């Protein structure tokens, strides 16, 4: 059979094994439950007082009266702006016939998302002293992107475990006699990538539902644009790590040795999670992380969400990530080929590299 036929055969086998197992569904169910819990629980446990808003106009009075917002009447827009500047109210809701909702919100430096969420429809917002994206929303986006990448990237250990198990049970010798080694590696990576991308896609479809159930639908319009950058970065970053996980499994023949062979990969998975979470407000560190191949998958989308980088920066970062991915896959293929049939103690990298000089397929 051809290389691509063998690759499809291996990928089909891996997907069937994972889909028929309970682990995949239990993990995915945990993600779904966690998603809805993250959207609903804060609303149930929150005891924060409702925002105070200055109100100008009859429609504004009627609309605010139907919500939990605390109204404070103002004679005109100028007085409402003064109350906002003095910090006596969180925002102002005023009549605006030119708006599609008939209302307009006035705030000081940041968009009052809690006020917008309380209204039936989100009216336009005027900021008296515009500031960057609010710290709360920026933290939510940073932590969310970092957590998603971390969970799925660390789950790539399943690739290493699969390869190690095949070596330990000597099944790999039968597989190598049937399909090319490179097809075995490509099919295995493709299978796990398809499974992960499928899970992420379903979670992306469920996110709007969860946010609306938790009365957080307004957050979708805020985080949504950043997802456009996160998707390509996530896909390239995951494939990069998946190839490394496969090599980690090929280097060992026992489960107890897998931890030592995958230590470096675990550290590389932790870098974007910890780096972005703890240094999201440090422009210099975030800029550096957004160009490092193993952290750019999270750092650059977060910076784009905050509106910090120039338009060309994400494309350069993507190019660096793609180039690193290409080089890593080439090295990983050689190491995988040279170590796959070597059993016993952990295979050293030099031995795996020289072992690939004798073609297996």
**Residue-wise DSSP of 281-302:** T-HHHHHHHTTSTTTHHHHHHH
Query: 32 and 211 in contact (C-beta within 8 Å)?
Result: no
> Which stretch of DSSP H or E encloses residue 104?
strand 103-107
Residues 289 and 244 in one domain: yes
Query: 170 — phi, psi (to 5°)?
Result: 65, 15
The pLDDT, as a whole number, for residue 361 is 44
| Each residue's pLDDT expressed in tens, for the chain with a length of 361 residues | 788 899 999 999 999 988 998 888 888 888 888 888 877 776 565 556 778 988 998 888 888 888 888 889 888 889 988 998 888 898 899 998 888 888 888 888 777 777 887 776 778 888 776 655 566 667 777 887 888 888 889 988 989 998 888 888 888 888 888 888 888 889 999 999 999 999 888 887 887 788 777 666 666 666 666 777 888 899 999 999 999 999 998 888 888 888 888 888 999 888 888 888 888 878 888 899 999 988 898 888 888 877 767 888 989 999 999 999 999 989 988 888 888 878 777 888 888 888 766 544 4
Residues 9 and 152 in one domain: yes
Residues 80 and 199 in one domain: no
The pLDDT, as a whole number, for residue 225 is 66
Residues 348 and 235 in one domain: yes
* Structural tokens at position 97: 């016939």
Opening angle at CA 39, ends 33 and 45, nearest 5: 105
The pLDDT, as a whole number, for residue 2 is 84
Residues 252 and 103 in one domain: no
Query: 53 — phi, psi (to 5°)?
Result: -130, 140
Strands of 103-107's sheet, edge to edge?
Answer: 70-73, 52-56, 91-95, 103-107, 125-127
User: Does any domain span residue 143?
Assistant: yes
Residues 154 and 300 in one domain: yes
Displacement of CA 164 from its chain's centroid (Å): 28
User: Does any domain span residue 128?
Assistant: no
Query: 60 and 72 in contact (C-beta within 8 Å)?
Result: no
pTM metric for this prediction: 0.75
The pLDDT, as a whole number, for residue 194 is 93
Residues 94, 74: Cα–Cα separation, whole Å? 9
User: Does any domain span residue 185?
Assistant: yes
User: Does any domain span residue 30?
Assistant: yes
Rg (CA), the chain: 26
Number of domains in the chain: 2
Which of 163, 268, 182 is CA-nearest to residue 2? 182
Domain around 77: 52-111
Which of 51, 113, 48, 62 is CA-nearest to residue 84? 51
User: Does any domain span residue 116?
Assistant: no
Residues 60 and 29 in one domain: no
Residues 263, 276: Cα–Cα separation, whole Å? 21
> Which stretch of DSSP H or E encloses residue 157?
helix 157-168
The pLDDT, as a whole number, for residue 254 is 83
Residues 56 and 35 in one domain: no
Opening angle at CA 67, ends 65 and 72, nearest 5: 50
Residues 306 and 191 in one domain: yes
Residues 282 and 310 in one domain: yes
Instruction: Give the Å distances, CA to CA, from 298 to 25, 56, 106, 225, 273.
Output: 26, 43, 33, 14, 8
User: Does any domain span residue 66?
Assistant: yes
The pLDDT, as a whole number, for residue 98 is 84
> Which stretch of DSSP H or E encloses residue 224?
helix 218-250
User: Does any domain span residue 107?
Assistant: yes
Residues 143 and 262 in one domain: yes
User: Does any domain span residue 119?
Assistant: no
Instruction: Give the Å distances, CA to CA, from 198 to 18, 228, 277, 327, 347.
Output: 13, 16, 26, 26, 34
Residues 253, 84: Cα–Cα separation, whole Å? 66
Residues 321, 297: Cα–Cα separation, whole Å? 8
Residues 325 and 256 in one domain: yes
């Amino acid at each position: 059979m051809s290389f691509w036929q063998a690759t499809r055969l291996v990928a089909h086998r891996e997907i069937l094994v994972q889909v028929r197992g309970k682990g995949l569904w239990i993990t995915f169910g945990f993600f779904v439950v966690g998603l809805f819990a993250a959207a609903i629980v804060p609303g149930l446990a929150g005891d924060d007082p409702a925002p105070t808003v200055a109100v100008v106009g009859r429609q504004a009075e009627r609309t605010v009266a139907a919500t939990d917002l605390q109204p404070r009447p103002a004679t005109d827009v100028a007085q409402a702006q003064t109350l906002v500047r003095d910090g006596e109210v969180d925002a102002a809701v005023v009549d605006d016939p030119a708006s599609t909702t008939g209302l307009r919100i006035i705030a000081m430096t940041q968009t009052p998302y809690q006020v917008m969420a309380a209204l039936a429809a989100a009216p336009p917002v005027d900021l008296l002293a515009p500031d960057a994206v609010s710290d709360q929303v920026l933290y939510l986006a940073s932590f969310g992107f970092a957590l998603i990448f971390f969970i799925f990237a660390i789950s790539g250990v399943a690739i290493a475990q699969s390869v190690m198990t095949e070596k330990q049970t000597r099944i790999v010798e039968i597989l190598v006699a049937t399909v090319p080694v490179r097809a075995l590696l490509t099919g295995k990576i493709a299978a796990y990538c398809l499974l992960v991308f499928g899970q992420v896609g379903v979670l992306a479809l469920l996110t709007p539902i969860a946010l609306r159930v938790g009365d957080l639908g307004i957050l979708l319009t805020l985080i949504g644009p950043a997802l456009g950058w996160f998707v390509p970065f996530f896909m390239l970053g995951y494939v990069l790590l998946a190839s490394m996980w496969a090599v980690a499994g090929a280097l060992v023949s026992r489960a107890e040795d897998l931890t030592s062979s995958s230590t470096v990969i675990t550290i590389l998975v932790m870098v974007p999670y910890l780096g972005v979470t703890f240094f999201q407000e440090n422009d210099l560190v975030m800029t550096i992380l957004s160009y490092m191949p193993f952290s750019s998958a999270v750092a650059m989308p977060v910076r784009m969400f905050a509106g910090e980088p120039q338009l060309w920066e994400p494309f350069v970062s993507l190019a660096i990530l793609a180039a690193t991915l290409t080089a890593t896959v080439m090295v990983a293929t050689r190491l995988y080929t040279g170590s796959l049939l070597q059993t016993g103690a952990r295979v050293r990298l030099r031995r795996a590299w020289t072992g690939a000089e004798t073609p297996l397929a």
